[in-house]
A and B are shown apart, each in its own frame.
Chain A
Amino acid sequence: MKAGIMRIASLVIALFVLAGGPFVSSASAAGKVALVLDVGGRGDLSFNDMGFKGSDEAQAKLGVEVVEIQSNSAADYLPNMQNAARSGQFDLIVAVGFLLADAMAEVADQFPDQKFAIIDVTWLGKPNLMEIGYEENKGSAIVGALSSMVAAHYGYDKIGVVLGIEIPVLYKFEAGYRYGMHWGNAKYAEKTGKKSNVGLLWTYTGTFSDIAKGKAATEAMLAQGAGIIYNVAGPLGIGDLEAITEHLEAKNKSAGPPFMIGVDANQDYLGDGHRVLASMMKRVDFGVYSAIESVVNGTFKGGVQILGPHNGGIAMSGKQDLADFIQFGVSGGAISASDSGQITSNWDAMRKDIPQWIWDAVAELQSEISSGAADVPCGWCPDTIGDIRAKYPD
């Protein structure tokens, strides 16, 4: 027995020595980046996976080495960032998500010579920290206009939005969506000569994780005649889409309307490609990539960077994004590669069924927003959402 253990031990030691050879750490010329995540980690097909997508692209295109640092517990956020900074081996430490804000505030002060970047946080104000915020209100306005015009086109008089926890950042989505709906109603009347009175149904579900609540909220909205449901609660979209799918199945249909509008990532490939009309893409990948790129180019500086429709940080999903995100869905395990052809042709059919003038109108709003001509309400501050609700009513 004892001899057996000794034999195994010596075998293992021999293996170590033999295998030790190939493990030479490869220093990368372009630099080394740490990507720090919250407890969500990989596999959400949304926010975090978009962060990984950005770092994967930086790895491929810029040749930097990226080290992912995931967290076991919220108690790990601060030590994880401290350890990364202390090691001194990273040219940039990127924190993905506003949950990491408090830890970042502390660690950025402790290590003034280390470059940091954080996504979705714009209020820390440190010289060595690039803060990347998004104009979700503007993207929501674009999909809001699309929603109201498409709903009116298919004879619906309601659109819905299912939101998560009532926090200031979600007010931005709500405010923009309201603005877009009113813009779309006016445009519909202008183009068709028919009055359009599409109204808004909105629910804060109080959760970013309870998928059943997304389904219940969507079912209630569909029962009240909603033609479009905008998902603003991450994974709750799975529940939203399930409700839409069942609603259609009851009528022996597979394709919408009613449709869902996806959020953060491009979610158009879900629902066989013809139940998600479009997605309000918040390009977290773009933010992560541009932060890394700025370090590689030597243009990094602290302060707030705003990503919006004017620089592609916020965009409505198009044909080109579909192929890209079908791949994203396949690698995330949401769909199988063999379905991609069907999804693409379904998606094409869905979009072609909607008159070209609607797409042109959406493009028009998009350029108005980018040029600053359209004044989309911010709604970041909780004290203005009441005024916005009054100005752009349900």
Chain B
Amino acid sequence: MFASKSLKKQIEPIVESLLAGLVGLLIGALIMLAFGHNPLAAYRSLLLGSVGSVYSVAESLAVATPLILTALTFAVAMRGGLFNIGAEGQVYMGSLAAVSVGLLHLPAPFNLIVALLAAMIAGIVWSLPVALLKLGRGVHEVISTIMFNWIAHFFAFYLIANVLTDPKRGDRTINIIESARLTRILPTATLNTGLFISLLTVAIILFLLWRTSTGFEIRAAGYNPHASHHAGINIRKQVLRVFLIGGAVAGLAGAIQVMGRPPYYAVMSGMPQLVNLGFDGIGVAMIGRNHPIGIVFAALFFGGLMVGGRIMQFDPGVPFELVRVIEGVIILALAVPELRRQFSRLKGRWGRKE
């Protein structure tokens, strides 16, 4: 009796997601029909393009690699009851910190690890003011993270154009030095060992949240800050923890994107390889129900959707703009169950207050 009930509880979200995904695919198909494209051919190339060969699986994994991390940033905060959308700016800072390690001229074996650490520290530095503003002045994290994302955006533009510029080509920063680059796993695909860094981070966060007292405190504060406070948990400390963990993880995402994805190994002017990694991570976290394991699968799905979407462009010839619309519809549909859950939680909380 009990066993079947807990089994049902575990399967329910999966079934829910599958149904939501199906609805998304159907709406996407209707949109394609409306614009005169064959949805069956388009979904066929979406599927083949994302998982049809070793190469396409590797590409899907490559896209998923940084998204796993930015989704973790959001999810950890969500578990702690906070809405941290600052990963975007922390990604920029992390990537530039990794690039600037090249200026230090360290002995070769240190470069990789120092670049990763520098990126995490940069992410933390960018996250810390948000936490301090919340603790000291009660500034809501949504407002302050949006502001810090923009500050990071323009600060990064400045650094790319004036400080870290490649003297031979003004459109990009200096390259990540060879010894700090992550190795490619397949000779052609852009997949690299950054994937293992992402998965290791997932394992660490999983352990931290569910196997340590720190994680218990974070989650308790998220469930019910008042009860946790009365039970002796320092809520302010949890806010700080959530932002620092999130900053480090998001900084890491920026670093592995620029240290791992060929062929550039430099931040381009306008940051075209970094922009939206942080925001896409929010979608991934939502689809993955803010759970590290769920996030891995959600990021894989997201990566597959992006990689397969490229194929949709030139095989059945669905225009890029429409591909993005369809991707958006599917992601939105998949995020609906989690959004509903979060909303009903909030409603419950407000309801009690009245």
Contact = CB atoms under 8 A, between A and B. Distances in A.
B313 A67 contact: yes
A243 B286 CA distance: 46
B291 to A, nearest CB: 26
Contact of A83 (B39, B257, B272, B310): B310
Given A39-B272, A74-B273, A69 B314 contact: yes
Interface of A: 8-9, 12, 15-16, 19-20, 23, 25, 34, 38-39, 41, 67-76, 78-80, 82-84, 86-87, 99, 102-103, 105-106, 110, 165-168, 206-209, 382
11 contacts: A12-B26, A15-B30, A68-B313, A73-B272, A73-B276, A79-B307, A83-B314, A84-B314, A165-B161, A167-B171, A168-B169
A33 to B, nearest CB: 11
Nearest to B59: A79
Contacts of B264: 74, 102
Given A69-B313, A106-B263, A99 B306 contact: no
Given A9-B26, A19-B33, A102 B263 contact: yes
Contacts of A106: 262-263
A19 B33 CA distance: 8
B208 interface: no
A68 B320 CA distance: 8
B20 to A, nearest CB: 12
A117 B264 CA distance: 20
Contact of B310 (A76, A102, A206): A76
B275 A73 contact: yes
Contact of A73 (B168, B169, B273, B313): B273
B273 A78 contact: no
A103 B275 CA distance: 19
Interface in B22-41: 26, 29-30, 33, 37-41
Contacts of A76: 310
A9 B189 CA distance: 37
A168 B269 CA distance: 15
Contacts of B33: 15-16, 19
Given A12-B29, A12-B30, A167 B310 contact: no
B259 interface: no
Given A69-B310, A105-B263, A16 B319 contact: no
A84 B315 CA distance: 9
Contact of A16 (B29, B268, B272, B306): B29
Interface residues on B, range: 35 or more
B214 interface: no
A82 B307 CA distance: 12
B161 A206 contact: yes
Given A16-B29, A68-B320, A80 B310 contact: yes
A83 B48 CA distance: 12
A7 to B, nearest CB: 12
B63 A75 contact: yes
B289 interface: no
Contacts of A78: 190, 262-263
Contact of A23 (B41, B262, B274, B314): B41
A31 B204 CA distance: 53
A235 to B, nearest CB: 12
Contacts of B41: 23
Nearest to A102: B263
A20 B310 contact: no
Contact of B320 (A70, A83, A99): A70
A275 to B, nearest CB: 29
In the A-B complex, list the 10 residue pairs whose CB atoms are closest, starting with the nearest.
Answer: A23-B38, A74-B273, A74-B272, A167-B170, A70-B320, A165-B170, A102-B263, A67-B314, A39-B272, A75-B273
A15 to B, nearest CB: 6
Contacts of B161: 165, 206-207
Q: Which of B30, B261, B320 has the most CB of A within 10 A?
A: B320
Given A79-B310, A207-B157, 17 more contacts: A15-B33, A16-B40, A23-B316, A38-B272, A68-B320, A70-B320, A72-B324, A73-B273, A78-B262, A79-B189, A87-B315, A99-B268, A165-B170, A165-B171, A167-B169, A167-B171, A168-B169
B302 to A, nearest CB: 12
Contacts of B244: none
B83 interface: no
Given A83-B310, A102-B263, A206-B161, A75 B29 contact: no
Contacts of B316: 23, 25
Nearest to A106: B263
A284 B41 CA distance: 33
Given A73-B275, A74-B264, A79-B307, A34 B314 contact: yes
Q: Which of B33, B263, B268 has the most CB of A within 10 A?
A: B263
